[in-house]
Structure formats: C-alpha cells, structure tokens
Amino acid sequence: MRPAFPVRLGAAEETLIAQLKAAGADQVAERVTVAGLPTRRVEAYHYTDLKTLLRTVPPLAQPANEATGTAIRVPGAYALSIVNGVVQHAATAPEGVIVGKTHGGVLTHRDDTLVGISNGLTKEALSLDLRGTIDQVIQIDHRIEGEAGHVADATKIFVADDSSVVILETFSGSDAAHVGNHASYLALGKNAIVTHVTVDLGSRATAHFATNEYHLAEGAQLRTLVVHAGSGLARTHLFPRMEGAGAHADVTGLNLVSEGQHSDITMETTHAVPHTSSQPLFKSITRGRSKAVVQGKLIVARDAQKTDAKFMHQGLMLSDDAEILSKPELEIYADDVVCGHGSTCGKLDEDSLFYLLSRGIPKAEAETMLVRGFIAELIDPIEDEALNEALQGIVDGWLLGQ
C-alpha cells in the first residue's frame, strides 16, 4: 500500500527509478517510488541518511573494454577485473579455480533498498568455483572508468569442502563522481578456510556501496577485512550467516576517514544453528571534519545454543572536529550462549606518546607509530606476505595524506 502522504522524491531517487524501470526491475522501482532512499528512520541506516547524503545519481556507465590501471598490485596474485560492470576476459586460471559468468543479481532478497537496486541493475556477475588449496591470492579489481557513471556489479563465489583460499576485491576508478553498488556472495563448504578482503580506494567524488553476504557450512572458518580508505561516501553492509556447527567468523573492518568523508560499516551476523562462534572487530580512525560509523548486530536464533559471539568497535579521533558513531546490538533468542559487545573511542594515549617523545622520536613519527600499532590487530592476521604489505601500504598512504 502507498502511504497516505507520498514521499517527496529527490533527483537521485527519480534517476534510480528510471534506471530500474529501464532494466525491468519494476518491483524495486516501485519500492523506491513509495519509500524513497533510506533515511535515519530506517534502523540500519540510522547514521547514514542516503536521502540526504546521495543527492544525485549519474547515468548508467557505458561498457568499457579495459581498465586504465589497478588500485593496488599484489605480486603473484591471479588477477581478474570487472570494468563498468562488465566481466573482463580472464587469463588462464590456476589449478582449482573455475571462472565463469552468471546473469543478474547474486544477493539473497531482503528488506534493504541497496540490495534491491543491486539485484535489479546487475546484468552479469563474475562466478568463481574454488576447489582445493589455492596458494595464489585471487584479486578481483572493480573499476569505474570514464565520465561519472552508475555501476552495479557482482561476484558469486563457491568454495568447496576442505578448500582454502585468500580473496582480495579492490574498488577504484577515474576521478569522476561515480556511484558504485557492488555485491559479493560467498558460500563456504564444510571445513573451508577463506580470507576475504575488500578495499575501497575510490576518489573523493565517488559514492561506494557494497554488500557482502556469507554462508558458512559445518566447520567453515572465515576471516573478513573491509577497508574504507578512498570514497567520499562509503558504506559496506556485511551479512555473515553461520549455518553449520563449528562454523566461525572473524569479521573485521577499518574506516580510515579524512576531511569531508563519511564511511559506514554495518554488520548483521546470524548464528542459525548450535555450536557456532564469531568475533567481529572494527576500528575507525578519523581526522578533520569527517564521520565514521560502525553498526553491529549479532542475531542468535532460538535453536542456536552454545553460541559464542563477541562484538567490539574501537575508535581513534585525531582531530576535535571528527565524529565516530557506534551502535552495537544483540538479538538473542537462545538461553545457553556467551555473547557480548563493547565500544570505545578516544584520542592517542598521551602517556604512550610522551614515552616515545622522551626517547627522541619526533612527534609526527611517534603519532604514526601509535596509529600503526592501533591498526596492527586487523592486518597482522593476514598471513599472505604480499597482501599484508599491500594493506600496510594503504595505511601508510593514508597516514601521509595521499
């Protein structure tokens, strides 16, 4: 039913409605027509009011044959690319990697506008079927090239039982005011071990939206790391779901935000069966007049006894004008669980800074050392040496203001 008082639509919403209708996604278009973009009244968008923050949406990007560069290079990685929503020709895949394409969106239908837009506008998705122990990092480079464009693209990844892999997805493009809506669907088989890293390195003019959906079978082990270090407006929504006994997820993320940026990592982890665990850990570092948001919800189903889940967000403010907003939530329907959440926020520890200064270390270098130490807990568990170095380079670049 339409509300008694229709929502007043802005330019961004009008453009999205037209694009969705042209793509045949009439139901999603109707939803945007009725409800508009999410505002702070929608709990999952409480601190990221898209109706206010996303004023315009550019035309759908034209297909591009190839990318002009890559955000970061990881030596030895098996490289794949998606440019302006088009899956590019892949080099010969290593053993255990089957590369293909699927048509349409990849995300499970849910009550989320960005998910609906992603499924409605995605024409083709990169599919990966991974089997065995894959030694090479698989790097998927998403780029939006040319003039300002709106892109919806997706990856759909299946990791077989008893397999292991490290996957890196990077997001970047030209300096135009792009809007990217990216989707990643990962299904982990029994006892699979997966590290999944996503890094936003878009330009300050870009709005970057991503949805990562994970399904963990019995004994599966997942480590994720989301890094926001580029786009002016960035939001990643994480949906891990523990579906088999013994499944465990270390869900981690890092907001690196400077003057004028708004970065949001929102997580909803579901423990659907007994004897599963998760340990979400997020960190935010802000400087200048910027805003970092972390929202984390742990859902424990009625039958999911013996769940062990703990959420933590730690914020570090490097300026008085910065904002760090945190909203941890627990939604527990079982009675034999160990669950908790916590959130801290503050400035650099003055005693630690004084100690370094007293040892003759210049102030700027001492502050950098403390920031690196604050972040280390997220990056050190990434065991692949080349990928670890690449992530350290991103942090160093941000610290230097690049």
Q: Would you say 169 and 197 are in contact if contact means Cβ atoms under 8 Å apart?
A: yes
Give how many domains the chain has, as a whole number: 1
Which pLDDT score is estimated for 172?
Answer: 95
- Rg of the chain over all Cα atoms, to the nearest angstrom: 21
For 383, other C-beta atoms within 10 Å of its C-beta total 10
* Residues of the domain holding 237: 63-346
Residue 183 included in any domain: yes
Helix pair angle (11-22, 26-35), 10° resolution:
160
Residue 121 included in any domain: yes
Which pLDDT score is estimated for 124?
Answer: 93
The CA angle 195-196-202, to the nearest 5 degrees, is 150
The CA angle 354-356-360, to the nearest 5 degrees, is 110
DSSP letter at 13 equals: H
Q: Alpha helix locations (H) across 70-221?
A: 113-121
pLDDT beneath 50: ranges in the chain: 1-2, 4
Residue 35 included in any domain: no
Q: From CA 346, how far away is CA 23, in angstroms rounded?
A: 47
Which pLDDT score is estimated for 366?
Answer: 87
Which pLDDT score is estimated for 66?
Answer: 66
* Phi, psi (deg, nearest 5) at residue 73: -115, 130
Here the tokens at position 13 are 């919403």
Q: From CA 95, how far away is CA 179, in angstroms rounded?
A: 35
Residue 290 included in any domain: yes
* Phi, psi (deg, nearest 5) at residue 309: -145, 130
Q: From CA 184, how far away is CA 376, in angstroms rounded?
A: 26
Helix (H/G/I), strand (E/B), else coil: 365: helix
pLDDT digits (tens, 9 = 90+) for 291-336: 999 999 999 999 999 999 999 999 999 988 999 999 999 999 999 9
Here the tokens at position 360 are 């003759």
Q: From CA 376, how far away is CA 193, in angstroms rounded?
A: 22
Look-up of token digits 């973009």: 37
Residue 80 included in any domain: yes
Are β-strands 233-242 and 207-216 bridged in parallel, bridged antiparallel, or unpaired? Answer: parallel
Q: Would you say 154 and 106 are in contact if contact means Cβ atoms under 8 Å apart?
A: yes
Q: Give the closest residue to 183 by CA, choosing from 241, 100, 121.
A: 121
Helix (H/G/I), strand (E/B), else coil: 227: strand
Q: Alpha helix locations (H) across 36-176?
A: 50-53, 113-121
- DSSP letters spanning 183-214: EEEEEE-TT-EEEEEEEE---TT-EEEEEEEE
Residue 250 included in any domain: yes
Which pLDDT score is estimated for 360?
Answer: 86
Which pLDDT score is estimated for 89?
Answer: 82
Residue 189 included in any domain: yes
Cα dist from 175 to 148, 149, 178, 234, 263, whole Å: 8, 11, 8, 15, 18
Q: In what order do the strands lie in the sheet with 323-332?
A: 97-103, 124-130, 150-159, 179-188, 207-216, 233-242, 262-271, 291-300, 323-332
Residue 367 included in any domain: no
Which pLDDT score is estimated for 144?
Answer: 96
